[in-house]
């Protein structure tokens, strides 16, 4: 509990630092909005047909429509807020990034194959998934289900994830690396192949109730 509380405090502090001066300007904007509230209905009536509702994020090249809802069989989430690169990859709309932690709906997708679906492949269905620890260095074989993992102590970290090809289009747009021998090949990532996430994990090496220790694996001194 103390560890979780400390992590939550650190996250809130980081978010506060990120917001910084925006708090003051946000308060000023709120006061200004309250002052003009009586005329808001008239202003909305004057907006062009098809304009997005107030607060809707705009998309590049199409400023009168909000991000569409878009589902694709290769993914398990709505990718309407992402840039379609190819059937299995989606880039983040980096011009919309305005939070310390990247929301799931804004997080890029880097896959070589379609995202596995539990309804189609029981190997990724939590009801049937198993982690099996076995081999010559194990005193007793151990098989752990997904629910078993969830009951184990966990640790959370804030980590940056980035595709190695993030920014690749800059080679094409700024350095003309489109033809051999200087051609840079790969997916057309803009600057959205990056995101800051809160990751929760269970450690395999000694930590309170280590998974490998439960199976009798001996961790050598100085090892990981």
What are 106-142's pLDDT values in tens digits? Answer: 999 999 999 988 888 888 899 999 988 888 878 888 8
Res 183: pLDDT:
86
For the chain, the structural domain boundaries read: 1-51, 68-224
Chain length of the chain: 224
Cα distance between residue 150 and residue 72, in whole Å: 29
Between 57 and 170, name the one with better pLDDT: 170
Contact residues for 188 (Cβ-Cβ < 8 A; gap 6+) = 85, 168, 169, 172
| Cis-peptide, bond into residue 181, ω within 30° of zero | yes
* Backbone φ, ψ for residue 43 (5° rounding): -65, -40
Mean pLDDT of the 31-56 span: 42
Could you please report the per-residue DSSP string of 70-130?
Answer: ---TT-SS--TTEEEEETTEEEE-GGG--SSSPPGGG--EE-SSPPP-TTT-GGG-TTT-E
pTM score, whole prediction:
0.62
Between 57 and 145, name the one with better pLDDT: 145
Res 12: pLDDT:
53
Cα distance between residue 91 and residue 180, in whole Å: 26
Domain spanning 68-224: which CATH class is it, in words? alpha beta
Cα distance between residue 212 and residue 185, in whole Å: 41
Q: Would the CA dihedral through 56, 60, 65, 70 be positive or negative?
A: negative
């Amino acid at each position: 509990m103390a560890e979780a509380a400390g992590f939550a405090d650190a996250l809130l502090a980081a978010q506060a630092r990120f917001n910084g001066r925006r708090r003051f300007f946000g308060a000023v904007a709120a006061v200004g909005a309250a002052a003009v509230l009586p005329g808001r209905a008239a202003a909305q009536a004057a907006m062009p047909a098809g304009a997005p509702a107030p607060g809707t994020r705009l998309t590049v090249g199409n400023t009168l429509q909000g991000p569409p809802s878009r589902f694709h069989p290769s993914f398990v989430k709505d990718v309407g807020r992402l840039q379609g690169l190819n059937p299995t990859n989606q880039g983040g709309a980096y011009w919309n990034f305005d939070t310390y932690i990247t929301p799931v709906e804004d997080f890029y997708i880097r896959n070589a194959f379609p995202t596995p679906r539990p309804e189609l492949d029981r190997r990724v269905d939590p009801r049937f998934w198993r982690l099996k620890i076995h081999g010559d260095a194990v005193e007793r074989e151990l098989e752990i289900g997904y629910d078993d993992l969830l009951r184990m102590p966990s640790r959370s970290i804030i980590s940056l994830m980035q595709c190695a090809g993030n920014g690749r289009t800059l080679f094409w747009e700024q350095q003309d690396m489109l033809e051999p021998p200087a051609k840079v090949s790969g997916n057309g990532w803009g600057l959205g192949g990056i995101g800051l996430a809160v990751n929760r994990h269970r450690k395999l090496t000694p930590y309170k109730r280590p998974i490998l220790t439960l199976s009798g694996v001996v961790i050598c001194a100085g090892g990981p």
